[in-house]
A and B are shown apart, each in its own frame.
Chain A
Amino acid sequence: MSVMRLGYVHLRVTDLDSAKGHYGTTLGMTETASEQGKVFYKGWDEYDHHSVVLEEGGVGLVKLGYKCETSEDIARYESRAQRFGASVARMSKGDNMAVGDGIRITLPSEHTVELYSDMEHLGTEPGVLNPESWPRFGRGVSVPRIDHALLTCEDPAMVERFFMECLDFRPSERVVTDPADPELIGTWLFCTNTPHDIAFIKGGNGKFHHFAYFLEDTSAILRAGDIFAMDDVPVDVGPTRHGITRGHTIYFFDPAGNRNEVFANGYITYPDFPTITWTADQLSKGIFYIGRELNERFTSVVT
C-alpha cells in the first residue's frame, strides 16, 4: 500500500486570533484542540483529529504530514529515503498532538514531511450511520477536507525522483522547458486517485506556495468566492480553471499571507495514468486555462 493521503498542513501565522477568524469563521473549519501558541483544525468530512495546525510566529510552512496505512509501510519508506540520501529522523507518539509514531524526512528541497499511520479518530458530525450529506449548520465556506499542497524547490527533477523512488508517488503532469531538451520546471504527483497530492514548481528551497481545500463542485467554488468578498479576504486569482489537473479554483490569502486554494473537480488517476506534459511556452494556459495569463503575483508570492 502506498501513502494514503495528505493528512496535515502545519503553518506559521503572525497572529493567531486573526488566523482563527479565517480558518474557523470564513473557511468554517472546526477547532479540535489548542496548546500554547498552536491551534488544531479539521474540516467537516475529516474524521482524524486534525488536518491544519496553526502556530503563532512568522509565516510559511512548518511541515506536511502524509498518512500511511501501516507502520511497515513507514519502515519501508524510511529505508528508501535513507538510501536516497535524505535525512530521516524517528518521531514518537506525542511529538505531534494526537499523532502516533512515524518518521520525519527532510526533503532534498529542505521541506519537512512527516509520515505517520495513526492519528486519534474523532469522527464527523454526519457520522457513519445513515448520515446526512453535510452538516446542517456549517460556517462560511464549510470546507470538507484538505486536498494537496504546492511547494517550490530549486531542483524539481530531484524532488520528483525522491517522491517516485522512495514514496511510490506517480507524476500526473509535468512542465518542461523544451520537450527536445527537457528541464523539469514543475511536477504534479499523486498517491491517491486525484490529479495531485503534492506538487513542486521551480523556485526557492523550503518555500510554500499554497495548500488547497477540496470543494464539491464549481458552484461551491463560486459560493466560496462570495464569502471571500463578504469577509474581505484578498483573492489572488480566480475563479478559473487549471489546464493542469483541470480543476476549478480560487487562490486567496490567509491573514498571515499564506496562500490557500479552494479546488474542485479535476480528473481521476490510476497507477497506469499516462503522464501529461506541458511546455513552458504554454505554462500560462496550463496554470490558468481560461485567462491564459500568469500574473507576477502568482509566480513570485511564496511564504
Chain B
Amino acid sequence: MVVVTVQPDGVTVDLREGETLLAGLQRLGYLYRWGCRRGGCGVCKVDVVAGAVGYSGVISDTVLSLEEREGGTALSCQAVPAGELTVALRNDRLTAAAPWLLKQAISITTQRSDIRQGEITK
C-alpha cells in the first residue's frame, strides 16, 4: 500500500502498488477532472507537493514536457506514486462518485478524522 494525500482537502487514500493515481482514486470512489485516461490530453495534470511519481509507459513530451515534469507536474492518469506522496488538484476538488464506496475507502485509509464525506461532496 502507498499512502497518497490529495489536496486541497487533504484526503488520504491507500493506493495499491503499481496503481496509477487516477485508477486508485477511481477505485476508491472519487471523482475529479480527467479526460482521455490514456496520457494523451493533459487534462488530468496535478502538482506534486511532496514525494515523487514514476511512469511505466511512454509519455509524449507534447503532453507533459520535461520542464513540467521537473517542475513537479504529474499526469495523474499515468503516474504511479514512488512511495508516500502528496499531490494537489488544479482548480478542482475530489468529489464522491458513490458515498457507500467512499465510506469503505475511508475505513481502510489511515482513519484521518478530518475527512468528512460532507466536505468533499460539496
B122 interfacial by beta-carbon distance below 8 Å: no
Q: How far is the CA of A14 from the CA of B62 in the complex (A)?
A: 10
CB distance from B90 to the nearest CB of A (A): 13
How many residues on the A side are at the interface (Cβ–Cβ under 8 A)? 23
| Selected interface stretch from B5-13, B30-38, B109-117 | B30-38
B59 interfacial by beta-carbon distance below 8 Å: yes
B39 interfacial by beta-carbon distance below 8 Å: yes
* B: contact size bracket: 10 to 19
A302-B41, A303-B41 as given contacts; A253 in contact with B36, CB under 8 Å: yes
Most buried by B among A14, A258, A302: A14
On chain B, the residues within 8 Å of A57 by CB distance are 60
Q: How far is the CA of A288 from the CA of B5 in the complex (A)?
A: 36
| Selected interface stretch from A28-36, A124-132, A293-301 | A293-301
CB atoms of A14 and B41 under 8 A apart: no
B57 interfacial by beta-carbon distance below 8 Å: yes
CB distance from B25 to the nearest CB of A (A): 15
Q: How far is the CA of A253 from the CA of B41 in the complex (A)?
A: 10
Which one, A296, A297, A300, A303, contacts B40 given CB within 8 A? Answer: A303
1/0 per residue, CB under 8 A from A, across B21-63: the answer is 0000000000001111111110100000000000001111111
Q: How far is the CA of A236 from the CA of B58 in the complex (A)?
A: 22
CB atoms of B59 and A301 under 8 A apart: no
Q: Interface residues of B: mostly helix, strand, loop or mixed?
A: loop
Q: How far is the CA of A15 from the CA of B59 in the complex (A)?
A: 9
A14-B57, A296-B33 as given contacts; A257 in contact with B62, CB under 8 Å: no
CB distance from B20 to the nearest CB of A (A): 12
CB atoms of A58 and B33 under 8 A apart: no
1/0 per residue, CB under 8 A from B, across A213-226: the answer is 00000000000000
Number of A-B contacts (CB under 8 A): 62
Q: How far is the CA of A236 from the CA of B59 in the complex (A)?
A: 20
On chain B, the residues within 8 Å of A12 by CB distance are 60
CB distance from B61 to the nearest CB of A (A): 8
On chain A, the residues within 8 Å of B35 by CB distance are 257, 297, 300-301
Q: How far is the CA of A301 from the CA of B38 in the complex (A)?
A: 11
Query: A252's closest neighbor in chain B, by CB?
Result: B36
Tell me the A226-285 residues at the B interface (CB within 8 Å).
234, 236, 253-259
Tell me the A76-130 residues at the B interface (CB within 8 Å).
none
On chain B, the residues within 8 Å of A302 by CB distance are 41
Which one, A18, A58, A236, A297, contacts B62 given CB within 8 A? Answer: A58
Q: How far is the CA of A236 from the CA of B60 in the complex (A)?
A: 21
* Given A234-B37, A303-B36, 19 extra CB contacts under 8 A: A14-B57, A14-B58, A14-B60, A59-B40, A236-B36, A253-B36, A253-B38, A254-B38, A256-B39, A257-B38, A257-B41, A257-B63, A296-B33, A297-B34, A301-B36, A301-B43, A302-B41, A303-B40, A303-B41
Q: Which 8 A-B pairs have the closest CB atoms?
A: A257-B40, A257-B36, A257-B38, A301-B35, A234-B37, A301-B41, A253-B36, A59-B40
Instruction: Write the residues of chain B forming the contact surface with A, with a CB cutoff of 8 angstroms.
Output: 33-41, 43, 57-63
What are 13 inter-chain pairs, A to B, with CB distance below 8 A? A12-B60, A14-B39, A14-B40, A14-B57, A14-B58, A15-B57, A58-B60, A234-B38, A254-B38, A296-B33, A300-B43, A301-B36, A303-B40
